[in-house]
């Protein structure tokens, strides 16, 4: 097994542990909705500190259900991951192309030197 394969497997294991650990150790069991987002947590904390707090503005669009909100968030995350993957793939491809072009130029110069 190569070094890169071992590193990738360890990283995959670490991500899996980070995803499963909160479920296994019961983190959030004391809450009514244990896995709500940071916005909900912030709203709860603000209303506990200042019950008469009025928000400065309201959202432009509020999805009709939590499932749709979750789906839109997932779509946003997938689009962001796609853009990042495209960018890094493009950079890698350009780097490989430049390396191949340099190898061709280097090989052509060596063959020209042998003929002359």
Question: What local confidence, expressed as pLDDT, does residue 34 receive?
Answer: 64
| Calpha distance 48→53 (Å, rounded) | 10
Q: Which of 35-39, 48-52, 111-115 has the highest mean pLDDT?
A: 48-52
Contact 49, 43 (CB under 8 A): no
**pTM, rounded to two decimals:** 0.51
Q: For residue range 45-97, what is the model confidence (pLDDT) as tens digits?
A: 898 999 898 888 888 888 888 889 889 999 999 999 999 999 999 999 999 99
Domain ranges of the chain: 1-58, 64-116
Contacts of 34 (CB under 8 A, 6+ apart): 27, 28
User: 3-class secondary structure for 49-97?
Assistant: HCCCCCCCCCCCCCCCCHHHHHHHHHHHHHHHHHHHHHHHHHHHHHHHH
Question: What local confidence, expressed as pLDDT, does residue 110 receive?
Answer: 65
| Calpha distance 106→116 (Å, rounded) | 16
Residue 112 has pLDDT above 80, yes or no: no
Q: How confident is the model at residue 12 (pLDDT cuts 50, 70, 90)?
A: very high
Contacts of 46 (CB under 8 A, 6+ apart): 53
């Amino acid at each position: 097994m190569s070094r890169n394969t071992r590193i990738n497997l360890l990283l995959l294991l670490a991500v899996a542990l980070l995803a499963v650990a909160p479920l296994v150790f019961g983190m959030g069991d004391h809450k009514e909705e244990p896995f709500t987002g940071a916005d909900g947590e912030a709203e709860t904390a603000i209303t506990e500190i200042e019950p008469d707090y009025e928000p400065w503005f309201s959202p432009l669009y509020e999805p009709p259900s939590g499932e749709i909100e979750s789906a839109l968030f997932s779509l946003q995350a997938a689009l962001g991951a796609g853009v990042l993957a495209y960018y890094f793939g493009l950079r890698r491809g350009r780097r490989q192309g430049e390396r191949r072009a340099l190898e061709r130029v280097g090989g052509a110069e060596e063959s020209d030197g042998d003929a002359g």
